[in-house]
Amino acid sequence: MLTAFFRAFRTPDLRRKIFFSLAIMALFRLGSYIPTPGVDYAAVRRCVDLASSSSSQGLYELVNLFSGGALLQLSIFALGIMPYITASIIIQLLTVVIPRFEALKEEGQSGTAKLTQYTRYLTIGLAVLQSTTFVAISRQQGGLFQNCNEILIPNDDLFTLGVMVLTMTAGTGFIMWLGELVTEKGIGNGMSLLIFTSIAAAFPSSLWAIKSERGYNTFFLVVGIGLLIMAAVIFVEQSQRRIPVQYAKRQVGRRAYGGTTTYIPIKVNMAGVIPVIFASSLLYLPALVAQFQRNSTAGWVTWINDHLVRGDHPYYIAAYFFLIVFFTYFYVAITFNPDEVAENMKKYGGFIPGIRAGRPTADYLEYVLSRITLAGALYLGMVALIPLIALILVNANQNFPFGGTSILIVVGVGLETVKQIESQLQQRHYEGFLR
């Protein structure tokens, strides 16, 4: 593997792509530390230090994760890539609902370009909405940091707040442009690599915090558990059920077509990390509504704060797990259509051995998909609960990096990037990373 790694750097154009991607990732991290105009950075740092010593980062943990910690520092890249992720998911869901979007998806490259343009517009709209919300919350003492009463925005006049919203929105647009640059001129998917950079950047500090607080024994235990979790995630992410498909032989003129055997790969985790994001976002809504409630002593507000905010409460854990299972089935159902696959197979003369074409094929695919999805949903739920279990066992939720959304994204993006470098090496008649 190391030999193949060095060969990748010996290839001029591949080396140029890798260095270009690394430079964009470094620029992205640099922007995460540049404060937004109008923010008292010293007060923000004091609140960040106070929040890092607590057991949770509050309602904004998911967005802060995808921004590489930039949100809680109120930097110019505070929103990170989260508006783009949300816009992409919305457009993907609307593709199933709106016939116009479905027609664009079937048009090929031109339709995909149009959908990408809609995603960009929606990203900017969501960035304006989210930046306005976070700026409004940051004006209040204890709004962004629940246990810190520092004044983060000393001068909160309308002009200053407008400049902050404009800066954060422009930062989101700039990140989106950087991601597209990496996709076009670098290696790997640009948006995914930026998310990877945000999450991986927190690993060293998290591990060092565990070492400082718990000592070397807990540190090495966490690293060992992390490596085992990573190996298990890689194994499941690469696992798939291959349904054999055979195509009938056809004679067209003097040429024979078909007669080949292939397969339909159905991954165990077809939904990726989307169900975890959906479940986390939905669980944040009651706590967010309770935070804006003026009467903080109301019964329902107290119940939400006691049961749906604390990550170690059984109600929170159960709701989180079942929401992940539900959204896994929901997302797979709208992204994989057995009837459409069966119809396409029948159109081109394909059939599953032992299964009749048409409706029986669709029923068989649906049966296999439901069983595979159950395993994938349980897997996602268990991986997502790893940080909560760490909170209960060693009280290290805020520092435990090997679990939940972070490990799924890091492993998934890492595997995809390695596969792209592998294909580039194979095109140049070199051996790849995986032998």
Per-residue pLDDT for the chain (435 aa), expressed as one digit of tens each?
556 667 777 777 888 888 898 999 889 888 888 888 888 778 777 777 666 555 444 445 656 666 656 666 778 888 888 888 888 888 887 887 888 888 888 787 888 888 889 999 999 999 998 888 888 877 877 667 666 777 778 887 888 888 989 998 999 999 999 988 988 888 888 888 888 888 888 787 777 777 777 777 877 887 887 788 888 888 888 888 888 888 777 666 666 665 677 888 888 888 887 788 778 777 777 766 666 655 556 666 666 666 666 556 677 788 888 888 998 998 888 888 888 888 888 887 788 888 888 888 889 989 999 999 999 899 888 888 876 676 556 555 555 666 667 788 888 888 888 888 877 777 765 555 555
Strands (DSSP E) found in 221-368: 240-247, 250-252, 255-257, 261-267, 350-351
Q: Is 94 exposed, middle or buried (0-12, 13-18, 19+ CB in 10 A)?
A: middle
- In DSSP terms, which residues pair with 267 in a beta bridge? 240
Report pLDDT for 58: 47
Residue 430 falls within a domain, yes or no?
no
Check whether residue 180 and residue 297 sit in a common domain.
Answer: no
* Domain stops at, among 156, 184, 202: 202
* Domain stops at, among 144, 178, 202: 202
CA–CA dist 3, 225 (Å, integer): 28
Cα dihedral across residues 409, 411, 412, 414: positive or negative? positive
Check whether residue 50 and residue 98 sit in a common domain.
Answer: yes
Closest listed residue to residue 404, CA positions, set 252, 226, 219: 226
CA–CA dist 235, 232 (Å, integer): 5
CA–CA dist 118, 122 (Å, integer): 6
Report pLDDT for 52: 59
Residue 413 falls within a domain, yes or no?
no
- Return the DSSP state at 150: -
C-beta neighbour count of 267 within 10 angstroms: 17
Check whether residue 175 and residue 246 sit in a common domain.
Answer: no
Structure tokens that stand for 90 in this block = 């919305």
The number of distinct structural domains making up the chain is: 2
CA–CA dist 357, 344 (Å, integer): 10
Residue 434 falls within a domain, yes or no?
no
Check whether residue 30 and residue 140 sit in a common domain.
Answer: yes
Report pLDDT for 57: 47
CATH number at residue 108: 1.10.3370.10
Report pLDDT for 39: 81
CA–CA dist 433, 91 (Å, integer): 35
C-beta neighbour count of 394 within 10 angstroms: 16
Check whether residue 181 and residue 272 sit in a common domain.
Answer: no
Residue 84 falls within a domain, yes or no?
yes
Check whether residue 281 and residue 330 sit in a common domain.
Answer: yes
Report pLDDT for 55: 47
- Return the DSSP state at 397: G
Helix (H) / strand (E) element for 288: namely: helix 274-292
Residue 410 falls within a domain, yes or no?
no
Residue 242: HSE in the Cβ half-sphere, 13 Å Cα cutoff: 7
Residue 222 falls within a domain, yes or no?
no
Terminal Cα distance for the chain, rounded: 8
Check whether residue 197 and residue 106 sit in a common domain.
Answer: yes
Check whether residue 274 and residue 381 sit in a common domain.
Answer: yes
Check whether residue 368 and residue 277 sit in a common domain.
Answer: yes
Report pLDDT for 174: 92
Closest listed residue to residue 380, CA positions, set 421, 425, 330, 344: 330
404-427 vs 216-238: helix crossing angle, rounded to 10: 60
Check whether residue 245 and residue 174 sit in a common domain.
Answer: no
Q: Note the pTM of the prediction, 2 decimals.
A: 0.76
Residue 411 falls within a domain, yes or no?
no
CB contact at 8 A, 164 and 39: yes
What residue numbers bound the domain in which 117 lies?
Answer: 1-202
Residue 360 falls within a domain, yes or no?
yes
Check whether residue 279 and residue 142 sit in a common domain.
Answer: no
Check whether residue 243 and residue 197 sit in a common domain.
Answer: no
